[in-house]
Each structure stands twice: as structure tokens, then as C-alpha cells.
Amino acid sequence: NALAEAVTKAVTSTLKSGEESVSVAIEDVEPRDWAEQVYRPDILGKMQTIYKKPGYDPL
């Protein structure tokens, strides 16, 4: 997958680590489920760990 490869390259380059230290998971989410399954628990619920905040509010 091109996205997983690009993320891996960015992480290994930035952190000066090997590919064996990186895992990339991609999970499809239906647009109608985004707010409940992702935005509330993983973005709003973890704002202290979000370094690049989204520029939208689906609520």
C-alpha cells in the first residue's frame, strides 16, 4: 500500500529508526460512523496526544 509505505518512510527518516520499528494500520470507517467511532473517542478524547489537530468539527 502506497500510503503505508509513505508513512513508514516518513517515520523512519524523522526518527532515524529502522522499518522493523514501525507498524501502520489502516481501518476503513463509513462517513456516517466517523463522529461516533473515531472523532469523539480518538480525537476529542485524546486531544493532549494530537500534534496535528483537524480543521473541522463534525459534531
pLDDT in tens, 32-56: 999 999 999 999 999 999 999 999 9
Centroid of chain to Cα 58: 17
Q: Is 59 a residue whose pLDDT tops 80?
A: no
Q: Which pLDDT band holds residue 10 (cuts at 50, 70, 90)?
A: very high
- Domain spans in the chain, listed from the N-terminal domain onward: 2-49
Q: Which of 34, 38, 10, 35 has the alpha carbon at shortest distance from 24?
A: 10
Distance (Å, rounded) from C-alpha 2 to C-alpha 55? 24
Q: What is the pTM of this model?
A: 0.75
pLDDT tens track for 13-26:
999 999 999 999 99
